Amino acid sequence: MVAYNIDIISEKLIDVVIRRAVGFKIRNFKIKASSSAFEQIVLRAIESTSKYLVNKSGMQLYCNICGKGPYTRKGMYLHLLRTHKYEIKNMIKEDLRELELAS
């Protein structure tokens, strides 16, 4: 992944990861990569990061980063985007680096 800038990629994946974590549909998301191995790394990073962000207790959503809640899906989306955007970006970068080294 040396040819790709992890910082730029993680910035573009923030909204996708938050939408995945909350359960929203992901619109207009396509990975344009030269190798399918890189696509798999990005998809695994999206999955692993999004699973960590939200704690679902019944029908209520709680933030796994700060513990605040309960939120509706839309409220959770806005909370994560406005409050934890840069923390999520760093999580994505970390996951991308770990998955790159593992492959």
pLDDT tens per residue, range 16-31: 999 999 999 988 887 7
Residues 22, 56 contacting (CB under 8 angstroms): no
Residues 80, 88 contacting (CB under 8 angstroms): yes
Q: Determine which of 1-5, 80-84, 93-97 has the lowest per-residue pLDDT on average.
A: 1-5
Q: Is the pLDDT of residue 103 over 90?
A: no
The model's pLDDT over 56-85, given as tens digits with 9 standing for 90+, comes to 988 899 999 999 999 999 999 999 999 999
**Closest-CA residue to 92 (of 56, 63, 54, 51):** 51
Report the distance separating Cα 56 and Cα 22, nearest Å.
Answer: 9
Token digits for 44? 């695994």
Q: Is the pLDDT of residue 34 over 80?
A: no
pTM over 0.85: yes
Coil, strand or helix at 60: strand
Q: Is the pLDDT of residue 1 over 50?
A: no
Q: Name the pLDDT band for 33 (thresholds 50, 70, 90).
A: low
